[in-house]
Chains A and B, each alone.
Chain A
């Protein structure tokens, strides 16, 4: 189960943070490294660190793939995404994330399906 997702740039500024388990306000602004009950898996894409905090029993390699899929989706949606896109369209990024992961578990594994869905949602606006 995913506990939280964090996107940070090299200066440590958080670009995206989604928590599936409640955490104290103060904790949210620190990075947690408790190794007893969960572990952090991260991948770096250019200047951004995508971090996932998962249970200790989870398959790390699978989550690495998960991060990569998310990045691909973002790339497709924003057409060659860059950090600025994420900053100015943060609410859209959250929406994508909500289509991808729910309740700390994977919701949809097809890139196409998610992009389609986003299109439909946009039409509703």
Chain B
């Protein structure tokens, strides 16, 4: 007989498949079998349908496609024969799921089977329905299931109940229909029905609030009674597990009670007694007991329990923590984290046990415990906790060290009571696990040190000592090298010794030794070496006798293969060799790094959106303008920027000027050029923008089509008084409106000395600007009683023979002047003076009499589809404006 015909018994096929040695063999066998089955299906072979479907199911379990069998399932289900029906349903549940449309075809068969007289067939149908029905099927067949809930047979009842759960999950609207029957189920005696009923009630509560309230009213007593009965019941061999009767029922009822009692004080009150009883009576030496206790604790935490009950619950969790079973400890830690929000005091009591868990052998328990400890830290217990954690850091495993270090550093930063403690702890962490410490952590340390002038001597000496004992911790080396460079003389001269500090003698050459060692050490990376170089340079200024030796060390690095080091050493060598006169001022003490700016920098630099995209993200409402500065400036550690000795003020001003000027003129300056501006600090950006000089920035400004929007929008320009108050000036308002940034002021200084003449109400008009293609005239009027305000009427005339379109006039004034631009009369300027555009400006000179009005103007227009730009400066304002 052909081993692969339909005649093969299931068993034989399985054996044949298992006998295959390779995957290819198996595929061949399966293919043949599938072919035989397909043939049998198409021939409508009645005899072996049962067997074929079983084989098909097996093949499906192996992972092969079996879609052709789906219709066969349907045919089998429709059969009157019980075994065939059964295998049909089984196949249905295995080969199909609720997303297949074929499933709809089964609905009719299911309906018939649900009404069948044979209880087993009804059971089959309910089972299939409960496992894979879709929403439409659920809706169609819900009435049948409801009816079956009232059946006498407990098997049918419990299956119907569970089926209802699925129906409710798929179609929550039907929940109301099942409320009544569900409540009734709780009065049953049969455990299977009971547990199904309880689960149905739980799901009803989740599905609809109406059901929840109904059940709360009617079922709270019932559920309490069930729990009481089952926990007090005598030994029942049928349901006994490890000495407890039906722990599953216990747990399910507890869950239902949690749902009913949540947020409702009355219901919770009823439950207090039974919960206390279960919590105390249940034995916890077996898993079943622990499972019940766990659910009990969850319920107590979930409802409005009395504080006594809560404490009881947390004590149970504390006991769990000392249990030998890993699962139980893990579960307890999880629960404690949740319990912390409810009752932090109680959890604090178990702090020491939790600390023990941090040292556990199981990795996931360690992680959880560490998170929990992090939650527990507050000002009072931070010191002993940190000590414990740092002690553990020494013996912990590598993978864990990183997590642990991060958490410790975060704790230290947040809760340190004073700077001395902070510095001490950070030094310990750095010595122990410096390699895992993140950059911003040791940056923060340096900021703190630079701010704490009385502790600097102590710090540098401690660092020196630490460096002797753990020279391979990279971050420690960096911090130490920086401090020794900065505060070298404190180290050598024992400045600022604190009480209780051990004596230490360090000579100048010792200090240089240490830094040189850091430089030469094989594991130092480029940043450390670079920092060492600077440090040496600083030392050569602090300790003049060592200059020669330091010069030799630096000379040695000049031939380094790393560009950064080579460059530094060459430059530093040049400083030592040729520029002794400026060396000492160059190497003065670093200015105190401002902690608050540093914090903002941290915030700003972590906000990636800010860093490059200046125009898109101009949200700045209310945020201080210094944030962009912080980001643009902080490309590397602030320490490395030796030559940036200027205080933060100037760069802030010019970059803030840069930023809002960019906005106002709607210019996309690439961030490089703006940070270039910041670093030199003296570039007159306005100069660039208006291109009086020849600056490469000019090309950026001529970005063609963005700025040809109508000048008429200038109507909605707000008036601006000083740079920091510019809030999100819209990019659409192209008309300018700057209030003078300081660079402009610098350049216009020469113009400022104008003598104040008596108030003269009439002023001659002036030609503000004249070129071959354009002429601009200003006429002035002043209102009586407002001497500082001047109305200027500007009139533009086209001197060329081409018409100008998209005409746009912009102006910039010094800081002490306010400018307001009205809409122009039009933006098309006819050729050869055949018409003119007029525009009114209003200027307010807040320093009338002391400083004269000055203005820079910029005119953009299109001629013959080419963009043109003209700029100029108006110097010839009449006096007294």
A binding-site residues for B, Cβ under 8 Å: 14-20, 22-23, 29, 59-62, 64-66, 69, 87-88, 90-91, 94-95, 98, 102-113, 117, 120-121, 124-125
Smallest Cβ distance from A118 to chain B, in angstroms? 11
Whether A112 touches B238, Cβ cut-off 8 Å, given contacts A65-B291, A90-B57, A94-B94, is: yes
CB pair B158 A19 closer than 8 Å:
no
Smallest Cβ distance from B321 to chain A, in angstroms? 15
Is B436 on the interface with A (CB-CB < 8 A)?
A: no
CB pair A102 B192 closer than 8 Å:
no
Q: A59-B251, A109-B195 are in contact. List 18 more A-B contacts (CB 8 A).
A: A22-B99, A59-B294, A65-B288, A90-B57, A90-B61, A102-B126, A102-B162, A103-B165, A107-B159, A109-B192, A109-B246, A110-B192, A110-B238, A112-B238, A113-B192, A124-B82, A124-B120, A125-B86
- Of B238, B248, B252, most buried by chain A (CB within 10 Å of CB) is B248
CB pair B120 A102 closer than 8 Å:
no
Chain B contacts of A121 at CB under 8 A? 86, 120
Whether A110 touches B251, Cβ cut-off 8 Å, given contacts A22-B97, A90-B61, is: no
Whether A61 touches B120, Cβ cut-off 8 Å, given contacts A103-B162, A117-B155, is: no
CB pair B327 A102 closer than 8 Å:
no
Whether A109 touches B191, Cβ cut-off 8 Å, given contacts A90-B58, A91-B87, A102-B127, is: yes
A94 to B298 Cα, complex, angstroms: 33
Is B800 on the interface with A (CB-CB < 8 A)?
A: no
User: Which B-chain residue is minimally distant from A66 (CB atoms)?
Assistant: B248
Chain B contacts of A61 at CB under 8 A? 287, 290-291, 294, 327-328, 331
CB pair A62 B248 closer than 8 Å:
yes
* Interface residue from A17, A104, A107, A110 paired with B61 (Cβ < 8 Å): A17
User: Which A-chain residue is minimally distant from B251 (CB atoms)?
Assistant: A62
CB pair B191 A102 closer than 8 Å:
no
Smallest Cβ distance from A92 to chain B, in angstroms? 10
- Of B57, B98, B131, B252, most buried by chain A (CB within 10 Å of CB) is B131
Chain A contacts of B18 at CB under 8 A? 87
Smallest Cβ distance from B235 to chain A, in angstroms? 14
Chain A contacts of B291 at CB under 8 A? 59, 61-62, 64-65
Smallest Cβ distance from B108 to chain A, in angstroms? 22
CB pair B327 A60 closer than 8 Å:
yes
Chain A contacts of B162 at CB under 8 A? 102-103, 105, 107
A111 to B246 Cα, complex, angstroms: 11
Smallest Cβ distance from A16 to chain B, in angstroms? 8
Whether A69 touches B239, Cβ cut-off 8 Å, given contacts A59-B298, A62-B247, A108-B192, is: no
CB pair B90 A91 closer than 8 Å:
yes
CB pair A102 B131 closer than 8 Å:
yes
Whether A106 touches B120, Cβ cut-off 8 Å, given contacts A14-B61, A61-B290, A61-B294, is: no
A59 to B202 Cα, complex, angstroms: 14
User: What does DSSP make chain B's interface, helix, strand, loop or mixed?
Assistant: helix
Query: What is the size, in residues, of chain B's interface with A at 8 Å between Cβ atoms?
Result: 55
Chain B contacts of A113 at CB under 8 A? 192, 238
CB pair A60 B331 closer than 8 Å:
yes
Chain A contacts of B251 at CB under 8 A? 59, 62
Smallest Cβ distance from B18 to chain A, in angstroms? 8
Whether A103 touches B163, Cβ cut-off 8 Å, given contacts A91-B54, A108-B192, is: yes
User: Which B-chain residue is minimally distant from A124 (CB atoms)?
Assistant: B82
Smallest Cβ distance from B169 to chain A, in angstroms? 8
CB pair B14 A88 closer than 8 Å:
yes
CB pair B248 A106 closer than 8 Å:
yes
Whether A65 touches B247, Cβ cut-off 8 Å, given contacts A59-B291, A102-B131, A110-B192, is: yes
Is B295 on the interface with A (CB-CB < 8 A)?
A: yes
Whether A106 touches B82, Cβ cut-off 8 Å, given contacts A59-B294, A62-B247, is: no
- 18 chain-A/chain-B pairs, Cβ below 8 angstroms: A22-B98, A29-B63, A59-B291, A61-B290, A87-B14, A88-B11, A90-B61, A94-B90, A102-B130, A102-B131, A103-B130, A104-B166, A105-B162, A108-B158, A109-B249, A110-B191, A112-B238, A113-B238
Chain B contacts of A22 at CB under 8 A? 97-99
- Of A23, A69, A104, most buried by chain B (CB within 10 Å of CB) is A104
Chain A contacts of B83 at CB under 8 A? 124-125
Smallest Cβ distance from B299 to chain A, in angstroms? 10
Smallest Cβ distance from B635 to chain A, in angstroms? 37
User: Which A-chain residue is minimally distant from B194 (CB atoms)?
Assistant: A109
* Interface residue from B54, B93, B199 paired with A105 (Cβ < 8 Å): B199
Smallest Cβ distance from B352 to chain A, in angstroms? 25
Chain A contacts of B158 at CB under 8 A? 107-108
A105 to B249 Cα, complex, angstroms: 12
A94 to B288 Cα, complex, angstroms: 26
Is B241 on the interface with A (CB-CB < 8 A)?
A: yes
Chain B contacts of A23 at CB under 8 A? 97
Is B196 on the interface with A (CB-CB < 8 A)?
A: yes
A65 to B192 Cα, complex, angstroms: 17
User: Which B-chain residue is minimally distant from A14 (CB atoms)?
Assistant: B61
A62 to B288 Cα, complex, angstroms: 7
A68 to B564 Cα, complex, angstroms: 65
Q: Which residues of B from 1 to 25 have beta carbons under 8 Å from A? A: 11, 14, 18
User: Which A-chain residue is minimally distant from B291 (CB atoms)?
Assistant: A61
Smallest Cβ distance from A73 to chain B, in angstroms? 12
Smallest Cβ distance from B627 to chain A, in angstroms? 34
Chain A contacts of B165 at CB under 8 A? 103-105
CB pair A106 B246 closer than 8 Å:
no
Chain B contacts of A29 at CB under 8 A? 63
Q: Which residues of B from 75 to 120 have beta carbons under 8 Å from A? A: 82-83, 86-87, 90, 93-94, 97-99, 120
A94 to B159 Cα, complex, angstroms: 16
Q: Which residues of B from 55 to 80 have beta carbons under 8 Å from A? A: 57-58, 61, 63
Chain B contacts of A69 at CB under 8 A? 241
CB pair A64 B287 closer than 8 Å:
yes
- Of A15, A103, A120, most buried by chain B (CB within 10 Å of CB) is A103
A60 to B212 Cα, complex, angstroms: 25
Whether A110 touches B159, Cβ cut-off 8 Å, given contacts A22-B99, A61-B287, A61-B294, is: no
Chain B contacts of A117 at CB under 8 A? 155
A11 to B196 Cα, complex, angstroms: 36
A70 to B337 Cα, complex, angstroms: 32
CB pair A105 B196 closer than 8 Å:
yes
A104 to B155 Cα, complex, angstroms: 17
CB pair A110 B57 closer than 8 Å:
no
CB pair B155 A19 closer than 8 Å:
no
Whether A109 touches B331, Cβ cut-off 8 Å, given contacts A22-B98, A62-B291, A125-B83, is: no
Smallest Cβ distance from B433 to chain A, in angstroms? 28
A66 to B251 Cα, complex, angstroms: 12
Chain B contacts of A66 at CB under 8 A? 248
CB pair A102 B159 closer than 8 Å:
yes
Chain B contacts of A90 at CB under 8 A? 57-58, 61
CB pair A98 B238 closer than 8 Å:
no
Chain A contacts of B93 at CB under 8 A? 18, 94, 98
CB pair B248 A125 closer than 8 Å:
no
CB pair B246 A103 closer than 8 Å:
no
A64 to B252 Cα, complex, angstroms: 15
